[in-house]
Amino acid sequence: MLDTSEENRRRHSLDPHQPVWLFGYGSLIYKADFPYLERQPAYISGWARRFWQGSHDHRGTPDQPGRVVTLIETPGHRCDGMAYRITPNVFEHLDHREKNGYLRLRQTLTFNDGHTTDGLVYIASEDNAAFLGPADEADIARHIAGSHGPSGSNRDYLVQLAEALRAIDAHDEHVFNLERHLQEMNR
């Protein structure tokens, strides 16, 4: 397993007295297990959410990784999620939580009122050791249905993400297709 927590600490020198915006597009939308000063829906442009990252530490195991989301650079796409204004000390927890291949990158966040701000987002690029890459959506759904790790079932991760996206009135064809495939497996 690749642990990126040290690399993330080196990447960004943050003023401990200046809050930072963090963009969440996966479990960070529905599982805010960290303190935040403010939270509101936002999106980033030019990125698509995909279940292409392996999870060896949360929704799978080192021998049988689950699949979780990462962002793939995709011109013309919009990825909806949740923005949190946090104090920099919160990154100690987040860097550990997102350590399996995710690196913090700077992105422009756009809020529903059109206001933009600079923020950080965790992205697992295709050159990280846990990257699983694209596959047929039915195959991805079967993989998710059979994966489980210390944070619970991979199925729950997908279902909770789909529900969280609906709650913020966001549409994501990839996530909703995978959810539909899961539902069809249960019939």
61-82: pLDDT as tens digits = 999 999 999 999 999 999 999 9
The CATH code of the domain that includes 178 is: 3.10.490.10
Domain that holds residue 125: 5-185
Closest C-alpha to 70, from 87, 39, 42, 47: 47
pLDDT band at residue 55 under the 50/70/90 scheme: very high
Split into its structural domains, the chain has a count of 1
Active-site residue list: 98
- Tokens, residue 50: 């995909």
Q: Mean pLDDT, to the nearest integer, of 170-185? A: 97
CB 30 within 8 A of CB 69: no
Torsion angle (degrees, nearest 10) of CA 142, 146, 147, 151: 110
Torsion angle (degrees, nearest 10) of CA 142, 143, 144, 150: 140
Residue 50 phi/psi, 5-degree rounding, is: -140, 145
pLDDT digits (tens, 9 = 90+) for 128-168: 999 999 999 999 999 999 999 999 999 999 999 999 999 99
